[in-house]
């Protein structure tokens, strides 16, 4: 079965700092990769996704992620965070040849200090 690791449980940054959240997955086959964000009191929203093609994916709100197949990684980045980016971020993997359901990481809580 798939597993997804997010090693940063809680990240605290000042506004304008750069962000990188790690995500590693276990499966070596063809996967679809996702980052979701959950703002306080709200439900999950899709930030960006990778299916194929250019491994550098740009999403909403200035976020981007890079798929590095050799490292089984899909790290999320943003050059300059804002207070409104305070949220929980979840990495998820869809195994295209398996059960077709999403496997989620444990999440990373981001706190941005004004």
Partner 1 sequence: SAVISQKPSRDICQRGTSLTIQCQVDSQVTMMFWYRQQPGQSLTLIATANQGSEATYESGFVIDKFPISRPNLTFSTLTVSNMSPEDSSIYLCIAKMGAEQFFGPGTRLTVL
Q: How far is the CB of 81 from partner 1 (least distance, A)?
A: 22
Binding-site member from 47, 90, 95, 110 for partner 1 (CB under 8 A): 90
Task: By CB under 8 A, tell whether 27 contacts partner 1.
Answer: no
By C-beta, is 34 or 63 nearer to partner 1? Answer: 34
Binding-site member from 11, 13, 17, 44 for partner 1 (CB under 8 A): 44
DSSP state string for the chain: ---EE---SEEEEETT--EEE--EE---S-EEEEEEEE-TTS--EEEEEE-SS-SEEE-GGG-EEEEEGGGTEEEEEESS--GGG-EEEEEEEEETTTT--EEE---EEEEEE-
Binding-site member from 8, 32, 73, 86 for partner 1 (CB under 8 A): 32
Q: Which parts of this chain interact with partner 1 (CB under 8 A)?
A: 32, 34, 43-44, 51, 90, 94, 99-107
């Amino acid at each position: 079965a798939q597993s997804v690791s997010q090693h940063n449980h809680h990240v605290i940054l000042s506004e304008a700092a750069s962000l990188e959240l790690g995500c590693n997955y276990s499966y070596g086959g063809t996967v679809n990769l996702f980052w979701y964000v959950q703002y306080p009191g709200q439900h999950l929203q899709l930030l960006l996704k990778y299916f194929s093609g250019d491994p550098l994916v740009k999403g909403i709100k200035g976020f981007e992620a890079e798929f590095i197949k050799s490292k089984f990684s899909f790290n999320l980045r943003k050059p300059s965070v804002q207070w409104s980016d305070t949220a929980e971020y979840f990495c998820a993997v869809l195994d295209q040849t398996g059960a077709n359901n999403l496997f989620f990481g444990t999440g990373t809580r981001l706190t941005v200090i004004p």
